[in-house]
Structure 1
Amino acid sequence: MSKRFGDKFAVADVSLEISTGGFIGIIGRSGAGKSTLLRMINRLAEPSAGRILADGNDVTRLSGRRLYRWRADCAMIFQQFNLVGRLDVLTNVLLGRLQRTPNWRSMLKLWTHEEKAIALSALDQFDIAQIAAQRADSLSGGQQQRVAIARALVQEPRIILADEPIASLDPRNTKTVMDALLRINKHYGITVLCNLHSLDVARCYCDRLVGMAGGRVVFDGSPECLTDHVARDLYGLEADEVMDAELPADVPAGLAVPA
């Protein structure tokens, strides 16, 4: 699978097979093609060449209602949270139900008691149910990202695509957010693909690492196989920065897409 912008390839001939239930870290320098790869999986970016297969179906050929359903199955979590600041936390989480709710009801914000209960339960799992009535723009960065993760969870996805979810967070909030993603992965069996800049965080949380450089996959294996020597080849001058990042405390040990 490839993505080309003019004469430049953002992603070049990437071929991956993703098993259901994995926690995969996509690592590499800025501009390596990590974000473009995730956006192609749920068709926010259209591949220039190649195919994405799921359940034997060609995702790159989906349109209309079938594409809508695929995007419901692939929840995105962004670096900048993408919350509606003027709305309260509970409503922001309920927006994750839009693709599972009739259009007329979602436009009128006629959420059912069951949907509200699902949203509150998701917030409670991440210890933020008590802020359900607060405006989203009044929250800290760590709180906003947990709200974004709760919104993704109520979407009932098969896959979560997290694009640099901890890039703007301090070590304490980094641990909180990564713990939340790991909980979703282990408790619900939801596959997580997570772009990460910090190599140490990736090694601690992910069970598989995919290293990208210049739009190509240059490493694919377990965290234990990613030696410091390989990491320095992957990151070049940035190696010391990503390998010396402050780790959160008490972390766990540690392209066909899943059905």
Structure 2
Amino acid sequence: MLDLGGVSRRYSGRAAVDGVSLSVGRGEFVGVIGRSGAGKSTLLRMVNRLVEPSAGHIRWDGTDVTALRGRALRDWRARCAMVFQQFNLSGRLDVLTNVLMGRLNRTPLHRALLGLWSEEDRAIALSALEQLDMGAFAAQRADRLSGGQQQRVAIARALVQEPEIILADEPVASLDPRNTRVVMDALAGINRRYGITILCNLHSLDLARGYCSRVVGLSAGRLVFDGAPAALTEAAARELYGLEAPETVGPAAMPAGGIPVPAHPAMSAVGFA
């Protein structure tokens, strides 16, 4: 279980996140919603420790994440994978190598720098790409892919970390509607098949209601909503988004069934199935 207790982050006296307390069970798919500047990205980055909390505690299954240092912190970041809005791929490297970077915590640095990846690591990376319908692009440079394809590569990279939790920070903000659905289906499929906890920052209430099992809402850094997607009424949207509410409220965007995630021997060997 992920437990946040009174977590805050201040910049020059201004609270980007203000006293957030939240518990997330294993296997939940939680959407984090709110207008731009509400503190969504800062909250996720504190969980991964890319941003240091100014106050409060973050715990995962009883481990005090806020106290981790050195190797223990690197191990946590492998268990708590990040997916970013801008993909964070190396464009000049091929797709397979970008995915293999998710294995760095399990591979000696000198071997990774020389590209001496084990056959097991390569099999795991290829399996992740195949599950996201990207296996055919393994040898292609990452900068030649579309935005939706690059995001699926980023998700594959997160998956090969063998994470217990994935933090997706506005993963579809720069994508068109078709690729938005493909990427959200991919995250939902991973959540269903592997039971990986997912916290996903979203601006669209349609997506939150269609994909998430639970939704939490931030406004000015404070937690103002925590409940089932069905409880995201127009009144709740107005509290979260103010004048932006009409742009965010609409019919739920239900998943189209998700990208197939078949079992694979390489994944089974390391605990993915």
The TM-score, its normalising length taken from structure 2, stands at: 0.90
Could you say which residue in structure 2 is the equivalent of 1:63?
69
Please give the root-mean-square deviation of Cα atoms over the aligned residues, in Å: 1.4
Could you say which residue in structure 2 is the equivalent of 1:42?
48
Structure 2 counterpart of 1:195, one-letter code: N
1:133-212 to structure 2, matched below 5 A, reads 133-212=139-218
CA distance in 2, matches of 1:251, 1:29: 28
SS of the aligned residue for 1:111 comes to coil
Could you say which residue in structure 2 is the equivalent of 1:132?
138
Question: C-alpha offsets along residues 2-53 of structure 1, whole Å, 9 cap, x if unaligned?
Answer: 0000110000000000100000000000000000000000100000001101
1:217-232 to structure 2, matched below 5 A, reads 217-232=223-238
Structure 2 counterpart of 1:158, one-letter code: E
1:229-248 to structure 2, matched below 5 A, reads 229-244=235-250, 247=253
Q: Give yes or no for contact 2:104–2:112 (8 Å, CA) kept in 1.
A: yes
Displacement after TM superposition at 1:119 (Å): 0.6
Which runs of 5 or more structure 2 residues have no equivalent in the other structure?
A: 1-6, 259-273
Is 1:7 matched with 2:19? no
Could you say which residue in structure 1 is the equivalent of 2:87?
81
Tell which deviates more after alignment, 46-55 or 80-89. Answer: 46-55
CA distance in 1, matches of 2:180, 2:127: 22
Q: Give yes or no for contact 2:129–2:153 (8 Å, CA) kept in 1.
A: yes
Q: Give yes or no for contact 1:52–1:60 (8 Å, CA) kept in 2.
A: yes
CA distance in 1, matches of 2:56, 2:18: 10
Could you say which residue in structure 1 is the equivalent of 2:39?
33
Tell which deviates more after alignment, 101-110 or 60-69. Answer: 101-110
Q: Give yes or no for contact 2:215–2:225 (8 Å, CA) kept in 1.
A: yes
CA distance in 2, matches of 1:58, 1:113: 35
SS of the aligned residue for 2:152 comes to helix
Could you say which residue in structure 2 is the equivalent of 1:250?
256
CA distance in 1, matches of 2:51, 2:192: 29
Larger RCO: 1 or 2 (CA < 8 Å, sep 6+): 1
Q: Give yes or no for contact 1:175–1:251 (8 Å, CA) kept in 2.
A: no
Displacement after TM superposition at 1:111 (Å): 0.4
Change (3 A) 1:246 1:205: closer
Structure 2 counterpart of 1:31, one-letter code: G
SS of the aligned residue for 2:92 comes to coil
Structure 2 counterpart of 1:75, one-letter code: A
Displacement after TM superposition at 1:250 (Å): 3.2
Question: C-alpha offsets along residues 64-91 of structure 1, whole Å, 9 cap, x if unaligned?
Answer: 1111111110100000000000000000
Which runs of 5 or more structure 1 residues have no equivalent in the other structure?
A: 253-259
CA distance in 1, matches of 2:33, 2:216: 6
Displacement after TM superposition at 1:100 (Å): 1.6
Structure 2 counterpart of 1:168, one-letter code: S
Is 1:51 matched with 2:36? no
CA distance in 1, matches of 2:51, 2:120: 34
Could you say which residue in structure 1 is the equivalent of 2:271?
none
Could you say which residue in structure 1 is the equivalent of 2:4?
none
The structure richer in strand per residue is 2
Tell which deviates more after alignment, 134-143 or 243-252. Answer: 243-252
Structure 1 counterpart of 2:173, one-letter code: A
Structure 2 counterpart of 1:65, one-letter code: R
Structure 2 counterpart of 1:226, one-letter code: L
Structure 2 counterpart of 1:82, one-letter code: N
Fraction of identical pairs, as percent = 67
